[in-house]
Copies of this chain bind each other. A is one copy, B any other.
Amino acid sequence: MKTLERNITIQLVKQGNILSPKGFKAAGLHAGLRYSKKDLGMILSDTPASCAAVYTQSVVQAAPLNVTKESIHTEGKIQGVIVNSACANACTGEQGLKDAYEMRNCAAAKFGLPDHYIAVASTGVIGEFMKMDKIKQGIELLEPTADGADDFEHAILTTDTVTKHYACQTEVDGKLITMGGAAKGSGMIHPNMATMLGFITTDANIASADLQKALSEITDETFNQITVDGDTSTNDMVLVLANGQAGNSQLTETHPDWPQFVALLKQTSENLAKEIAKDGEGATKLVEVNVTGTQTKQEAQVLAKTIVGSNLVKTAVYGSDANWGRIIASMGRSGVTFNPGDTTIAFGEITVLQNGVPAPFSEAEAKSYLEEPTIIINVHLKEGTAAGTAWGCDLTYDYVKINASYRS
């Protein structure tokens, strides 16, 4: 039980996932896009769900994003999400758009839904065409069930080494609201907006426009604050489906429990984001950077993300080397103005720079701390009272290995 400001209480659902909320089913299977792993997944709500989404801010956007946008904009409702891995269907021109529509419409036909009740997402190699025969055959075989979350989670993975899921609950109007999520990384992770694929389900009753407000509000401090390699995908998308089956009175910004709902969405998103960072390609450690004492929240977020995204900081963390000079050097190029002479840096509780002056510390102690699976870097400035956090991972031999041969 975690208590947040305003007495918001959120309860973790142990081993929870996208099927923890009421009224959702899921499936995942091997359609033949990948050699042997699952590659086609589906989430299905029993009833049409309010839907909100955020997408990559890349100039280059994959075809499925256009199709999903169109679906959502038609009525603000989505009942099914069809997802494939192995092929991104990006930079595939008119054929790619045609394929994305066909994928949507096949899924709609299979489950007897209007075309615009289906959202489409793809992830994988850019610039290759979809194997539509396999996609269509696969869709025919999809049978979402109440225990299909694990299959779905596997079907959306690319270079990820583990599935990513989370669920939590809170009370609204005295009704229990549950939220669950699934996500995949793990390269091209450096969201300008979303990053990767994220799917969040909830049984809360909320209109699409309000759901979109909540999602937009928390994206900048959750999904947008992780980075694995500085590259933003053409396919990034986070979808939230709310099917209203919890029976609460409809949530709006003026509802007394609105902060409760936003906190639920933030906690789900932050946990999925951290899981993605932790499973970054080749990563051995999760790195969290907290920056405090800036004039604005945005400055703190930019500083935190610049530090956590620095190749030199990432390799130092991999080597368990308390090389704090690389931290302040990356801050210097972040575009944020600050006084280096007022800067304090600590690895966890071990202060290495105090008000701009190198602080004596035990190298052995620092090295020992940096060998842990989660590294926290704390930076404090004296410019103001704002704060921000970002998450990332170390840069390892395996990152190079994975990416020197991903397509082949």
- Enumerate chain A interface residues (CB-CB to B < 8 A): 56-61, 88, 90-93, 125-129, 187-188, 190, 192, 229-234, 310-312, 315-316, 318-319, 321, 323-326, 328-334, 336-338, 340-341, 352-353, 356-358, 395-397, 399-408
The one of B93, B352, B399 in contact with A315, judged by C-beta atoms closer than 8 angstroms, is B399
User: What's the least CB distance linking A89 to chain B, in Å?
Assistant: 11
The one of B315, B331, B336, B399 in contact with A403, judged by C-beta atoms closer than 8 angstroms, is B315
- Whether A326 and B396, one on each chain, are in contact in the complex, defined by CB atoms closer than 8 angstroms, is no
Give the 4 A-B residue pairs with the shortest CB-CB distance, closest first.
Answer: A126-B325, A319-B404, A60-B332, A58-B332
Answer whether A59 and B407 are a contact pair too, CB < 8 Å, given A230-B311, A234-B332, A329-B231.
no
Within the assembled complex, what's the spacing in Å between the Cα atoms of A232 and B306? 12
- Whether A407 and B188, one on each chain, are in contact in the complex, defined by CB atoms closer than 8 angstroms, is no
Question: How many monomers of this protein are in the complex?
Answer: 2
Closest to A231 in B: B312
Answer whether A60 and B399 are a contact pair too, CB < 8 Å, given A356-B93, A404-B315.
no
Query: A91 contacts which chain B residues (CB < 8 A)?
Result: 325, 328, 340, 353, 356, 358
Within the assembled complex, what's the spacing in Å between the Cα atoms of A326 and B316? 26
Given contacts A88-B325, A319-B404, 19 further A-B pairs with CB under 8 A are: A59-B331, A91-B328, A91-B356, A125-B325, A126-B324, A126-B325, A126-B329, A127-B358, A128-B358, A188-B312, A188-B329, A230-B311, A231-B310, A231-B333, A234-B328, A234-B332, A319-B405, A319-B408, A400-B400
Question: Which of A231, A340, A396 has most B Cβ within 10 Å?
Answer: A231
Closest to A363 in B: B408
List 29 contacting pairs A-B, 8 Å CB cutoff, sorted by A.
A56-B332, A57-B333, A59-B332, A91-B325, A91-B328, A91-B356, A93-B356, A93-B357, A125-B323, A126-B325, A127-B325, A127-B328, A127-B352, A127-B353, A128-B358, A129-B358, A229-B311, A230-B311, A231-B333, A311-B403, A315-B402, A315-B403, A316-B403, A319-B404, A319-B405, A321-B404, A321-B407, A397-B400, A397-B401
User: What's the least CB distance linking A341 to chain B, in Å?
Assistant: 7
Answer whether A329 and B401 are a contact pair too, CB < 8 Å, given A319-B408, A358-B128.
no
- Whether B329 and A403, one on each chain, are in contact in the complex, defined by CB atoms closer than 8 angstroms, is no
Within the assembled complex, what's the spacing in Å between the Cα atoms of A400 and B353? 25
User: What's the least CB distance linking A280 to chain B, in Å?
Assistant: 11
- Whether A126 and B328, one on each chain, are in contact in the complex, defined by CB atoms closer than 8 angstroms, is yes
Query: A230 contacts which chain B residues (CB < 8 A)?
Result: 230, 310-311
Query: A312 contacts which chain B residues (CB < 8 A)?
Result: 187-188, 229, 231, 403
